[in-house]
Amino acid sequence: MRTYRLLTTLLSPATAWLLQRRRQRVPLKFSPRDFSALKNPGKPPKKAPVQPLKRPIWLHCASAGEVVAAQPLIKALQKTQRPLLVSLWSPNGAIKLQQLFGDTIPWTWLPWDAPRTMRQFVAALQPEQLWIMETEIWPNMLLAAQRAGVPTLYINGRLTDKTLHAPRWLKKAYQTGLRHVDKVLARSAADAERFAQLGVATERIEVAGNLKWVAATQLTHAPPPPLRNAPYHLFASIYREEAATLLPRLAAQRSSTPWVLVPRRPEQDAQPLAELAQAAGLRPALIHQDQQARTTTADLLIETRFGTLTRWIAAASTVIMGGSFAPYGGHNFLEAAALGKPIILGPHMEDFAEETALFHQAGALIQTPSIPAALQAVNHLPAQLGEQAQHLLQQHAGAIIKRYTDSLGL
């Protein structure tokens, strides 16, 4: 733990500056809460700070995926009228929070995990409890909360084998931070076992299920407005490595149905993907606004904006999930299931192994070994594949949200 404390302290000035630059570049409709005066009492803030809420539930979400998973709990908390403050790490998380809740949820940026900064941050928030979504292990944050007497819970708790095989000094810091966590509501039995291996007492761990199942079902009842009504196939959350294999094959097929690519990192990858497509002999169109999505006649549409994926899923004929044909662990396919879409996955679904196995065994999706096999499967999909996926999702979601609301007293 000493090594971790020393490194985070030494890196604090540079990291704080980089985080500030990255976050300031993101266009947000609503500003975060400003705790600068409370964290730095000797330094006048640039603007008047917002006073903290009275003993809020502090919910920490790293990025957009965690915000989506937390959506059912945020709505449940709103009904109880208990104070809530969300802390976020990435700009994409802030965008997603505002897309889902507008300005109804107070939020702030999580600072860099340096010991003094975290102590001041916890003192400024004065939370009733700390709820951490999924995988975030910030040892100094955990210790600051514990020393301030703040009960700490992991929600939809998830850990990967990569965390267990972290360098020895970092793993020790993880173990120190997690040792006194009050409760872990784990996503799966495998995740529960990983938390136990990092030092959380087994009596404090409960397998509650994946909240993303519950979040996804809300789309069934209120589907988003589609971006395009003409038929198309969707490759969702695609990485450049996957596109390098996909695009020459699409050019060779010359399908009459266009394809839509939504990059995992639109701001970085949209233009390079368009260049790859042109080199392969395709006619790509970069989509910057809704009107283009509706009217373009290109045979390949490439999304450039973050936050539009669900709207592309809404009217897709088929959804192939990216991140599963290269060693990225796969991505969440439950929104596609909620909207009744035929789903095709690749072999790398380690981060959603239990969900993939359950859907595959129920005949509710197709898993293929490669992109060529996935493209072949597009033309031979079982007629009821999407309906089976939607039905399976709805079957399980009710029990999951009940376990969470019972455990959290909501």
Does 252 share its domain with 310?
yes
pLDDT in tens, 123-162: 999 999 999 999 999 999 999 999 999 999 999 999 988 8
Q: Are 132 and 154 in contact (CB under 8 A)?
A: yes
Per-residue confidence band for 254, with pLDDT thresholds at 50, 70 and 90: confident
We report the CATH number of the domain holding residue 133 as: 3.40.50.11720
In the chain, % helix, strand, coil (3-state, to 5) comes to 50, 15, 35
Report, as an integer, the average pLDDT of 190-200: 95
Domain-embedded: residue 352: yes
CA torsion through residues 271, 277, 281, 286, sign? negative
The residue among 182, 208, 234 that closes a domain is 208
Predicted local distance difference test score (pLDDT) of residue 44: 45
Does 224 share its domain with 369?
yes
| Residue ranges making up the domain that contains 156 | 51-208
Predicted local distance difference test score (pLDDT) of residue 52: 59
Domain-embedded: residue 37: no
Domain-embedded: residue 215: no
Query: What does DSSP say about strands 183-186 and 205-207: parallel, antiparallel, or unpaired?
Result: parallel
Number of domains in the chain: 2
pLDDT in tens, 228-245: 999 999 999 999 999 999
The residue among 141, 173, 208 that closes a domain is 208
Per-residue confidence band for 46, with pLDDT thresholds at 50, 70 and 90: low
Domain-embedded: residue 16: no
The residue among 208, 231, 249 that closes a domain is 208
- Whole-angstrom distance, CA of residue 50 vs CA of residue 153: 26
We report the CATH number of the domain holding residue 339 as: 3.40.50.2000
Does 257 share its domain with 125?
no
Domain-embedded: residue 308: yes
pLDDT in tens, 266-323: 989 999 999 999 999 999 999 999 999 999 999 999 999 988 999 999 999 999 999 9
- Give percent of the chain above pLDDT 90: 83
pLDDT at residue 213 tops 90: yes
Does 68 share its domain with 115?
yes
Domain-embedded: residue 33: no
Does 193 share its domain with 280?
no
Predicted local distance difference test score (pLDDT) of residue 41: 42
Does 226 share its domain with 170?
no
Does 197 share its domain with 287?
no
pLDDT at residue 37 tops 70: no
Report, as an integer, the average pLDDT of 164-180: 94
Report, as an integer, the average pLDDT of 179-187: 95
Does 253 share its domain with 328?
yes
Does 336 share its domain with 271?
yes
pLDDT in tens, 350-396: 989 889 999 999 999 999 999 999 999 998 999 899 999 999 999 99
